[in-house]
Structure 1
């Protein structure tokens, strides 16, 4: 007599995974070895910068021991890096605010309004990304000289804002296109104006895009050397990149002071990336998708 088990008690069929192809059978060393070499190539300059910054002068040790902060004291007080740091911070924050505000308003107009010449405007914004900043030095200098902004930090803010706006407009407009317009329309039905609906519905969803745009504007202005060198001539208005260049003398170089200044210039950028990296990736990927 044959007994049949109920359907619920039948053993589940064993599913064997399909065999992987040769392209999929990649061993670990084929992944980690190139990544490790790339990481080593990237971190070795930073290691030497830290070694020169923290080891005593005259030492040729491969390790920064005993640790000394004399080089930092020299560059911060003796070479005026405290003033350079304040100037770079002022230019970076001002460029961040101006770029974000202008790109937010322009990106909303490009994403929500249909007008003649919109595609041509976007193409023109893209084309400006292929123009090197060095080609615009003479026109910008003439404009700033006419406006009386030469040897002023505001000239750096304006120049940085102009060069950061095209990419920022494209990112924010692409991000706004991915936000359903029905959400704003629901707010309008509830009695909100377009401006109030924007602040209540759209702006909270734009946090990753705003962080991405603001961080790019801040870091680019923080690291920019060409504009600060050409538009500013007084030492008390130098930014950190220009101040670092002037630590190199004609006949000698203080490597300890130069490395300490490099650490001072690099730490804010590293901290910014460490804090916002997850928002940065999200904002870049969302702004790159066409809605």
Structure 2
């Protein structure tokens, strides 16, 4: 007769005295001391968003503090008359192309930094880190000269390459930290089973890097989507410009169309908000994983 053996009850480790003291002190804090500062911070954060929605949805010339009657004329104006449909498509192209190029190159470089030792490795890592202190404005002149010789001025490819160059150092450092968190023994086991290095990386390592790749890719996409300087300097044709440059065209020395500017700002912000809403779990996991052994 076969009887099922009940699993032994799990033993819960006793809570350290210091942790119990912190938890007890936290429980004794009055709730208003927590919720009042959080409420003030939330109010301070949401007021600018409400102000943008107010100008975008209320009729031109209205001074009401409530967007009623509600109108979408400002959105229609910036999308059709101000060519925001073209700007939006260009920004999507630049963002996705930068995401893919940055992720692929940083993945190869990060693997080399994580798995191979060479004489100048420490100096190379230091150079990558120090490059983050260089402002993007200092790269404009050399990049402009390079793109001019390559006949890439007024091309979306020039903005993609410039954004990739600007974001590669940090992306390589982050991905190298992600790869160090993957045990080297997993790759060795794949080699024993007959896989070469590339196959072992694709089958064993790459699936474990999903949170890190999502974090790096989303960071590259958002930066390319919001960056204004490179698009302004390398793109002169209006049909090639991106959303940040398009927003700048709504402001002139004489007047500013606040309704159109607010509608354009919402159009620019919605894709980023949607992206972060879907990947926030992967983003937090990826950045925390890369920070452990980076």
TM-score by length of structure 2 reads 0.90
SS of the equivalent of 1:68 reads: coil
In structure 1, the residue matched to 2:44 is 41
**CA deviation digits over 1:120-161, x for unaligned, max 9?**
111000000001111111111111111111111111100100
In structure 1, the residue matched to 2:158 is 155
* One of 239, 242, 251 as aligned partner of 1:239: 242
Whole-Å Cα distance in 1 between the matches of residues 208 and 169 of structure 2? 21
Q: How many residues align?
A: 276
Over 3 Å counting, the alpha-carbon distance change for 1:207 and 1:22 in structure 2 is closer
Unaligned residue ranges in structure 2 (runs of 5+): 1-16
**1:205 is the counterpart of 2:208:** yes
Note the 1:213-224 alignment, pairs <5 A.
Answer: 213-224=216-227
SS of the equivalent of 1:230 reads: helix
Whole-Å Cα distance in 2 between the matches of residues 134 and 90 of structure 1? 23
In structure 1, the residue matched to 2:128 is 125
Over 3 Å counting, the alpha-carbon distance change for 1:62 and 1:179 in structure 2 is same
Whole-Å Cα distance in 1 between the matches of residues 256 and 145 of structure 2? 35
CA apart distance, 1:171: 0.7
In structure 2, the residue matched to 1:287 is 290
**1:64 is the counterpart of 2:67:** yes
TM-score by length of structure 1 reads 0.91
CA apart distance, 1:249: 2.3
Note the 1:89-168 alignment, pairs <5 A.
Answer: 89-168=92-171
**1:177 is the counterpart of 2:180:** yes
CA apart distance, 1:61: 1.3
Whole-Å Cα distance in 2 between the matches of residues 33 and 164 of structure 1? 39
Whole-Å Cα distance in 1 between the matches of residues 274 and 23 of structure 2? 42
**CA deviation digits over 1:41-63, x for unaligned, max 9?**
12111111111111111211111
- What is the RMSD of the two structures over their aligned residues, measured on CA atoms? 1.7
Whole-Å Cα distance in 1 between the matches of residues 21 and 134 of structure 2? 50
In structure 2, the residue matched to 1:11 is none
**CA deviation digits over 1:139-194, x for unaligned, max 9?**
11111111111111111100100111111101110010011011111111111111
**1:268 is the counterpart of 2:275:** no
